[in-house]
Structure formats: structure tokens, C-alpha cells
Amino acid sequence: MPIQFPSYQFNSFLKEYPVQIDEWSGFVNDLLKKAKIPAEAKEKLEIYEYLGVALRITNRLNEAEVYLSKALDLSKTVSKKVQNLIRLADVFLWQKEFIEAKNLFDLVKQLINENDISLSLKASYHQHLGKFYFDQSYFRIALTEFELALNIRFALKSSVDQIESVQYAVSQCEIKCLPKLENIIIRRAQISDAESIHIAHMKSINEICVNEHSTDEIRVWGGRKFDLAKRLPAIQNDFYLIAELDGIVEGFCQLNVSLKKNLKSAHLYGFYITSKILKKHVGDAFMSLVFEYCQCENVKVITLKSTITAFDFYKKYGFIQTGELTGPIRDGVMIRGYPMQKALT
């Protein structure tokens, strides 16, 4: 008979808590006894996994760390490693050891990028990464992770309890992130969004930048064909957000963080919205998320190359011009922009 957890619920901090303490105590004690009995590695792994999670839920965090570390050591497949890295990261979150948790989430991200991982596990990763941000009061960033997890759960037609747990996380974030954008969802991008992002990018150039940039600029800059290879690395590795209106991508924001000489800096590579969401405060929401993410990552300076169109928008947020109007040459045409930067305290 498979092991089953006793009943639990979630509190407003998105932490599980036992419905019946005595039932959980008995459950944990039974697993502790089983853990001492010699068994095959597969059976031991299952016991350690359930025991580690149960010990966390009952707030026996040091013991939870021990048993989930044992489970991780016994994990042979990539999927099992991902599952148990996430479970161990959760223990560190409960201990408020955020650096340790972040290191484990980074390992999970690397495994996901390098291997064929199920969408269900990807949803789990984004949901628990959202909790990582939630626990540090980065509620807007947390919401973007929860929204992606929910998007995947719906696409997979996941179980009701899985969907409801993400919906509850979304609702708790929305309470803390008011006001809410009307009919617009901002979430982390995933690989399947790549072509939709490209379409929104080209639309934005042709619809929004057309008044300030030349006809030749718009032609070569806004007429590019979709190339997954050019979008994929950034979606996998950068802080990459999309804005959806009625399920259609109508904007995106791409921020790359790098470390040079012990100084963390970020470059804003993409920040585009289409006419359908213009003047709906999406740009402001994107910028708030950029600043929140930079605070979380301890970034000291943000640089960017502004379109002529967006120059005043960036000035409003404290970016200063650092060079003359210039840009890359594409098909013999210069795509003009202003280099800008903002120092963060």
C-alpha cells in the first residue's frame, strides 16, 4: 500500500500545517521506525522522502534536512534529483536560510535546462520558486512564478488539489500586490512562449516605435523572422516576463544579471508592449518587477539601450543618458537608441 500523508491545510504564509497533530505525530513515528529497518534502496528512498516532508510540516526542520539529504543521495534519475532538491530547498525556506535555498533552486534550474523534464515537475519548480520569493516579501516576483505554475497546471489538466494550491498562492500574492491589472496576467516566460514573444516584439516595434524611428529602421528592426535559437537561452536563463491579455502575449521584459569583479549588474535587453496594452500600466508593472528582482539579487546598477520612443519613460524611473544616440547596423541601417543606466542603492 502506498504511503499517504495525513490531512493538512495551507495557512496565509503558504505553509502546510497538520489538521490533527496526534495523527501526524503517529505518522512520523511510524516512518522513523521503518527508516531503521533494512530495505532496498528504492523503498528507503520513498521512506526518506515522505519522512523528510512530514518532519518539515511538523516543524522538525533539522531532522527534515537530514532525511531529505539522504533521499537526495539515493536519487538516481534526474527527475528524482529535481524533486528532492525542491523538497530540501523547502526546508531551507522554513529555516529562512535563503542563500542555501537559492543555491538548490539554481541547481534545479540547471537540471531543467539541460534535461528533458516533465511539465509537471517544471510547474512544481516554479510554484516552489514562487514560495522562495514570497517568503522574502517579493510578492510581485512570486506572483509571476505562481502564474506560470498555474498556466502549466491548467494545460496539463492537473489534479484539483494541485490547481487549488497554486490558485491559493496566487490569491495570497494578489492581496499583497494590489492594485491588480485588469484582464492582464504577468508571468514568467517559458520556452513554448518564444514565438508569441517574437510576434509581440515585432508588433510593438511596428505599432509603438513607428512615430520616432525611421521607415528603414522599422523595416529591418521590426521585420525579423522568428528564430527559436535566439530566444531560447534568454528564456531559460534570464529574468524573462511576459504580459498576457486574454491568453495572448502582448508584451515582454528581459533582464540579464551578471557578476563582474564582485559587482552585480543587470542589463535590460527587452522591454516591449503592443498597442493593445499601451497605457494600461503594464510598463510600470514590468519596471516594478525589475527593481524588485534587482533588490532580491543585490544588483547595484541597471543598464539598457532605450528606443527613442521609450526614452522619457526610462527617465521617469531615474535612468540617465550615458552616451550619444547610436546603435547596431542591420542591413545597412542603424537602429538608433540611447545608452542609459540607473544606480541602485
88-110 pLDDT tens trace: 999 999 999 999 999 999 999 99
Any idea which residue has 552616451 for its cell? 323
Counting Cβ atoms within 10 Å, is residue 257 exposed (0-12), middle (13-18) or buried (19+)? Answer: middle
Q: Mean per-residue pLDDT for 305-330?
A: 97
Same domain, 30 and 131: yes
Residues with Cβ within 8 Å of 108's Cβ and at least 6 positions away in sequence, in order, are 82, 85, 86, 89, 125
pLDDT confidence bin for 18, thresholds 50/70/90:
very high
pLDDT in tens, 191-232: 999 999 999 999 999 999 999 999 999 999 999 999 999 999
The dihedral through the CA atoms of 216, 211, 310, 183 has a sign that is: negative
The secondary element (H helix, E strand) that includes residue 24 is helix 21-35
pTM of the shown model: 0.94
Closest by CA to 204, choosing from 138, 263, 286, is: 286
Domain housing 119: 8-181
Same domain, 17 and 154: yes
Which runs of E-coded beta strand occur in 141-214? 184-188
Same domain, 163 and 236: no
Of 1-15, 61-75, 131-145, 309-323, the poorest mean pLDDT is in 1-15
pLDDT in tens, 114-168: 999 999 999 999 999 999 999 999 999 999 999 999 999 999 999 999 999 999 9
Same domain, 156 and 239: no
pLDDT confidence bin for 1, thresholds 50/70/90:
low
Residues with Cβ within 8 Å of 309's Cβ and at least 6 positions away in sequence, in order, are 208, 209, 211, 212, 213
For residues 232 and 252, is the Cβ–Cβ distance under 8 A? no
Q: Mean per-residue pLDDT for 178-191?
A: 92
Same domain, 142 and 209: no
Considering the domain boundaries, does residue 281 fall inside one? yes
pLDDT score of 194: 98
The dihedral through the CA atoms of 134, 139, 145, 148 has a sign that is: positive
Domain boundary among 181, 199, 230: 181
Closest by CA to 287, choosing from 309, 271, 273, is: 271
Distance of CA 160 to the CA centre of its chain: 23
Same domain, 116 and 193: no
pLDDT in tens, 283-308: 999 999 999 999 999 999 999 999 99
Count of domains forming the chain: 2
Domain boundary among 125, 150, 181: 181
For residues 186 and 243, is the Cβ–Cβ distance under 8 A? yes
Give yes or no for residue 261 having a pLDDT over 90.
Answer: no
3 state DSSP class of 289: helix
Q: Mean per-residue pLDDT for 252-263?
A: 94
| All cell numbers assigned to 298 | 543585490
CATH code: domain of residue 97: 1.25.40.10
- Cα Dmax for the chain: 75
Same domain, 158 and 206: no
Same domain, 85 and 108: yes
Same domain, 291 and 151: no
Give yes or no for residue 86 having a pLDDT over 80.
Answer: yes
Q: For the chain, give the mean pLDDT.
A: 97
Considering the domain boundaries, does residue 227 fall inside one? yes
What is the DSSP pairing of strand 301-306 with strand 263-273?
parallel
- As a whole number of angstroms, the distance between CA 60 and CA 69 comes to 14
CATH code: domain of residue 320: 3.40.630.30
